[in-house]
Amino acid sequence: MNTYKLLKNNIYLLALVPNNLQNRAAAYLILGPKNVLIETGASPSNSTILSTLKALEISPDAIDTIIVTHIHLDHAGGAGLVMQQCPNATLMVHPRGKKHLCDPAKLIEGAKQVYQDEFDQLFDPILPIPEERIRTISDGDILDLGGGRQLQFYETFGHARHHIIAFDSETKGIFSGDIAGVFHNRIHDRTGCPICFPNTAPTQFDPEEMDASYDLMISLQPECIFYTHFGMADQAIDILKATKTWIPFFSEACVTYYRNNPSLDELTAFIQEKTVAYLENENISVDAVDIKNLKFDNRLNAQGIIAYEQRLQKRS
């Protein structure tokens, strides 16, 4: 399988393979006067990054900047390893993420609670990054890529309190991390229907902040979205508006269900039932692989909703 693909305007998608699920996580490489890698994935996907650079005849020394949209390990777990291999690169991250990339002990501890016995297979190794090689991103910061091209950064909370997006001036595209949701590229390629659901995975799901982040993204008038999970989608504003309508389901219906049925397995099944029923009602066909992908996402979503409900209980 070819692990990379030229999309547009010198942007390459690199297909990472988390948990042996194909086409479920991506990094993006922008080539130009400055070569930029957006997202690193986890360390087990490192070979995809190196093999893509080799195939494109780009030396790791020629990578100028590495950007992580947030520090969840499926986005930034491999950052320390990639930074070792790209000695001239500066890593850009939200200020709240910096200390955890310098010292990833708490990241490791938190991920082990979520992924348990699968942790080593999914994420090992997680390496610290020297503080002097990290640049923090403030809301509205601009990275000049040369040739008149810029990336502008925006804080976008609701999935994580250390989340940013990057808006590309050339494509009018958003590199969305997790805040724009999970785009089901496989369903889209087969049916032509752009299906995306919000990502409420642990542990900082906040529906009000997520709603505001969708409004911000829509206000940018994007023409496309580069999803980490997974792939590029056109009709960006329509997709964002449609995905936004699901936030109340996760923050209200799912919370109510969990209060009456306090079980991770039952909440996962409830979300799975509702999302699959929606696809069926829209006459969008799904197969066994789609069902597996949805269940993987929905279990993580359920864990995030439970964490959100626990915060609500503490406040009350």
The mean predicted confidence, pLDDT, of the chain is: 94
Residue 140 CB coordination number (10 Å) = 9
Q: Within 13 Å and on the Cβ side, how many CA atoms surround 32?
A: 20
What pLDDT was estimated at residue 48? 92
Binned at pLDDT 50, 70 and 90, residue 23 comes out as low
Model pLDDT for residues 159-177, shown as the tens digit of each residue: 999 999 999 999 999 999 9
Residues 179, 260 within the same domain: no
The CA distance from 175 to 165, in Å, is 6
Q: Are residues 203 and 268 in the same domain?
A: no
Cα 240 to Cα 24, 177, 224, distances in angstroms: 19, 14, 10
CA 222 to mean position of chain CA atoms = 17
- The reply to whether 154 and 102 lie within a common domain is yes
Examine the domain organization and report whether 26 and 165 are in the same domain.
yes
pLDDT score at 28: 98
Rounded mean pLDDT, 1-17: 90
221 shares a domain with 178: yes
> Residue 311 half-sphere exposure, CB side, CA atoms within 13 Å?
13
Per-residue pLDDT averaged across 267-294, rounded?
95
pLDDT grade, residue 114 (50/70/90)? Answer: confident
Q: Which domain holds residue 254?
A: 247-315
- 52 and 146 both lie in a single domain: yes
Find the length of the chain.
316
Write down the pLDDT at residue 22. 58
Domain boundary (203, 220, 243) is at 243
The CATH number given to whatever domain includes residue 140 is 3.60.15.10
Residue with tokens 């309190």: 161
Question: Which whole-number Å values give the CA distances from 169 to 19, 85, 143, 145, in the listed order?
Answer: 33, 28, 11, 10
* pLDDT tens digits, one per residue of 178-223: 999 999 999 999 999 999 999 999 889 999 999 999 999 999 999 9
Query: In this structure, are 76 and 98 located in the same domain?
Result: yes
| Per-residue model confidence (pLDDT) at position 304 | 96
Last residue of a domain, one of 226, 243, 260: 243
Write down which residue in 213, 243, 273 finishes a domain. 243
**pLDDT given at position 1:** 53
The pLDDT assigned to 227 comes to 98
Provide the number of structural domains found in the chain.
2
**CA-to-CA dists, residue 268 to 119, 272, 297, angstroms:** 21, 6, 9
Q: Tell me, yes or no, whether 169 and 53 share the same domain.
A: yes
- Mean pLDDT score, 42-61: 94
Q: What's the confidence (pLDDT) of residue 109?
A: 87
